[in-house]
A and B are shown apart, each in its own frame.
Chain A
Amino acid sequence: MASAKDFARLEQINGVANYILVRGDGQIISQNMENAASFAPIISTGGTQCDTLSTDMGGNRYIHLCIERESGNDLLIFSLGRYYLGIFKHPESERQEIIDNVIYFLQNL
C-alpha cells in the first residue's frame, strides 16, 4: 500500500477538486478538504456496498461508483481493497477523463 503522502499527488490531476481516502470502517487516511469527516461515511458505505454488489452481479468486480449531480460536482468512489478513494470532480471537467487519470494514478502507486 502506498503511503498517505503519495495520495496528495491526486490534487495534481486535472479536474480533481478534492479527495478523501478512507478505510472500510470509515477512518480517514488522507484528504485535502476541510469537511472530510462528514463525507467519510458515504464514501466507506458506498464503497463497501458496491463491493458486496459483486456477489449480486454474478461475480463482476467493482471498480468505481459515480454519484452524478446536477451541479456537476460528481462524487466518484474507487475501490482499493480495504480502502476507498472518494474524488469530488470540478463541475466543468470531463468525468471519464478524470476516471481514466485516477485509475492510471492508482495503478502506478
Chain B
Amino acid sequence: MNHESFLLDLVTSLPEINGAFLFTPQAGILSQHIDDSIRDFDSLAIGKKMTGIAGKASDHFHDITHLQATFDNIILSGRLLPEEKWLFLLHTHELSSGMIRMALQLALNNSVQESDNPATQPEPPVEKIAAIEPPVTKEIIPVDIESLMAPGAPLAKHLNAMQDALANCIGPAAIPVFQDVLTAWCQENTPALNTLKHLIPLLLTEIDDSEDIKFFNNNTKNLFPQE
C-alpha cells in the first residue's frame, strides 16, 4: 500500500473528511494528511491514546470493528487495517458511517489496483508481496450492503436482480449467502458496473444443481452491458 496516495484518495473523496493519518503503535505515524483548518493537532498522541483504549477494550471484546470519539466540532474515528495499521479519520458530524465505509472501501481497492499495476508501483518488493497476499489472510473490510442495494444506488437494480435469481435457485438462504458473497466481492473489486461480472462466478459456487446454474445464468445474462 502506498500510504500517501491511499490517504490522499480518502481525504479528497469526501469534503466532510478534514484529515486522515496512518499509525502503528510500533512505528508511530506512517503518513498523514490534515487540513489547514485543523489546528494544534497532535496525531502521534492521538494514535497512542486511541490504540491504548482499543487494547484495553480488547481484553473484554474480541469483535471490535472501530472506535469513534465524538467532540463538539469534529469526529475522530479509528479502524484497524491489514498489517496492524490503524487508520484515523477526522470528519464532520454530517458524515455517516456508511459513507465512510464506502470511501474507505474505494480507497483500499484503488491502493490494491495500484499495487497490481507495475507502471504505478513505487513500493519496494516486500510491500508488493504483502499487497497480493491471498484473500484468506486479509482483514475483512466491512461493506455497507444496505447502501449498495438501496433504491437509487448505482448498482441496486443489478444486485437485487442477482439476489432474486439466487433466491429462485437456493431458496430463503439466498439473502445471507448473497451478502457474504457480496462482501467477498467487495474485498477484491471496486463496486461498479464493469466489475459486476466478477460477482457471477462467486455466486455460482453457491449453487449445487446444474439446472439451477443454467437458470441463474439465464436470469442474469441480460444484466450486463454487451462487450
Partners in one complex: yes
Contact call A69/B65, Cβ cutoff below 8 A? yes
B50 surroundings in chain A (CB, below 8 A) = 49, 53
Q: Which of A17-66 contact B (CB under 8 A)?
A: 38-39, 41-42, 45-46, 49-50, 52-66
1/0 contact string of B14-28 vs chain A (CB within 8 Å): 000000000000000
CA distance A46 to B63 in the complex (A): 17
Interface size class of B (residues with CB under 8 A): 20 to 34
Contact call A68/B72, Cβ cutoff below 8 A? no
Q: A56-B42, A56-B45 are in contact. Are A68 and B53 (CB under 8 A)?
A: no
Interface size class of A (residues with CB under 8 A): 20 to 34
Q: How far is the CB of B92 from chain A (nearest CB, A)?
A: 12
CA distance A59 to B61 in the complex (A): 30
Say which one of B33-41, B105-113, B174-182, B205-213 lies at the interface with A. B33-41
A56 surroundings in chain B (CB, below 8 A) = 41-42, 45-46, 49
Summed over the interface, the residue pairs from A and B with CB atoms below 8 Å come to a total of: 91
Q: A45-B53, A49-B52, A58-B38 are in contact. Are A68 and B66 (CB under 8 A)?
A: yes
Query: A75 contacts the other chain (Cβ, under 8 Å)?
Result: yes
Contact call B67/A67, Cβ cutoff below 8 A? yes
Partner of B71, one of A46, A61, A69, A99: A61
Q: How far is the CB of B176 from chain A (nearest CB, A)?
A: 15
Q: Which of B60-98 contact A (CB under 8 A)?
A: 60-61, 63-74, 76
Q: How far is the CB of B207 from chain A (nearest CB, A)?
A: 28
CA distance A54 to B68 in the complex (A): 14
Query: B57 contacts the other chain (Cβ, under 8 Å)?
Result: yes
Chain A interface residues toward B at CB < 8 A = 38-39, 41-42, 45-46, 49-50, 52-71, 75, 99
Return the 5 tightest CB-CB contacts between A and B, nearest first. Answer: A60-B71, A70-B63, A58-B40, A56-B42, A56-B45
